[in-house]
Amino acid sequence: MIEMKKNTVLSGVQPSGDLHIGNYLGAIKNFVDMQNDYNCFFCIVDLHAITVKQDPKILKTNTLEVAATYIASGIDPKTSTIFNQSSVSAHAELAWIINCVTRMGWLNRMTQFKDKAGADKENASSGLFTYPNLMAADILIYKATHVPVGNDQKQHLELTRDIAQKFNRDFKCENFFPIPEPIIDKNISRIMSLKDGSQKMSKSDLSEYSRINLLDESDIIIKKIRKAKTADTLMPEKIKDILKLNEINNLLNIYSGFTGIEKQMLVEKYKGQNFSNFKSDLSDILVEQIKPITSEIKKLMQNKDYLLEILQDGQNKANEVAQKTLNDVYDLVGFIRNET
Ligand code: TRP
């Protein structure tokens, strides 16, 4: 039986391609820091992944790779619950109920849908449109109180809060769903492309040089940092001037994210210099921090049975909690349940 005394955290990562340092700093690293203070559920959101086209075989490998990355980054499967979303059917079942709670107008305001659907909205899957409802289900099925997410997910979290409130009101069950709080690290939650500091670092960017993957070898990391865009100036002295230089600001965020050193301190150290020293220190830090994670991911990927066991165990633990919430929801909504 899972201890339910502590506050509950749920978060998820999509198994939609190689994970990069944006995923690590924006999400996974924070998960590691939370596991002792909260009752944590860390999900691999395979149902979300198929809102855009996926190759089924690659999806399976990517799912295992996210599990391996969670563990290699320091999430302890004994302390936290690691599982893939599709293995706990209550997520999809609650998502349907939520489809009937959320208003079209609310979904129409979601900027991520507009970004992801692009110009050809008519051809986007309807799953992509209702994506935020499934995300709300992920959170509410565990009655999560806190959700660590990147800045780009803030709007989805606000929607989740609206959904929880509407459900509680519509079905006259005040406090049934807690109103979840986002946990967003403002400084580092948005890691940008190394080629264009106005674009988010993304798995789907065509240029490999836009991102550093957690599976990149050291020489590749060094090369990518060497080629990263900077500016035709020296390192400015003032943060306010740095904020105008997207690429520099981003590299400083990465540096700060991996070392915990405040940006202001870094600026003190490198101000007035050209960027070569800074870049070489940054690649040293990245190599040093990423290498152990990379080799652990690779090792774990050789041991598929172990990963499958972790997911099975996570599924059992998650299912127990999720099923109970679903039963209560079905009762509140007015569905007849057989006793078996
Ligand atoms: N939408 C999130 C992302 O792309 C992933 C996600 C799915 C998630 N369900 C979640 C994050 C629940 C937090 C909580 O980053």
The rounded Å distance from CA 27 to ligand 1 centre is 10
Predicted TM-score of the model (pTM): 0.93
Q: Which atom of ligand 1 is nearest to the CA of 134?
A: 9
| Per-residue confidence (pLDDT) for residue 338, from 0 to 100 | 75
What is the pLDDT confidence band of residue 5, given thresholds at 50, 70 and 90?
low
How far apart (Å, rounded) are the C-alpha atoms in residues 154 and 138? 15
Using a 6 Å cutoff on CB, does residue 14 contact ligand 1?
yes
Q: From the CB of 10, is ligand 1 less than 6 Å away?
A: yes
Our answer on whether the CB atom of 164 is closer than 6 Å to any ligand 1 atom is no
Residue with CA nearest ligand 1 atom 6: 12
- Domains of the chain, first to last: 8-189+304-333 (3.40.50.620), 208-299 (1.10.240.10)
CA 5 to ligand 1 center in whole angstroms: 24
- Which positions are catalytic? 116, 200, 203
What is the chain's mean pLDDT, rounded?
Answer: 94
What beta strand segments (E) does 14-123 contain?
39-44, 81-84
What are the C-alpha distances in Å from 260 to residues 188, 254, 256? Answer: 10, 10, 5
Cβ(45) to ligand 1 under 6 A?
yes
CB of 322 shorter than 6 A to ligand 1: no
Q: Over the stretch 279-322, which tens digit does the pLDDT of each residue have?
A: 999 999 999 999 999 999 999 999 999 999 999 999 999 999 99
Pocket lining: 149 vs ligand 1, CB cutoff 6 Å: yes
**Which pLDDT tens digit goes with each residue over 235-258?**
999 999 999 999 999 999 999 999
Q: Which two tokens stand for residue 285?
A: 């830090």
Q: Ligand 1 center to residue 272 CA distance, Å?
A: 40
Phi, psi (deg, nearest 5) at residue 50: -80, 10
Q: Whose CA is nearest to atom 14 of ligand 1?
A: 11
Tell me, what's the pLDDT at 315? 98
Please determine, for residue 4, whether its predicted confidence score (pLDDT) is greater than 70: no
Distance 220 CA to ligand 1 centre (A): 29
pLDDT score at 203: 86
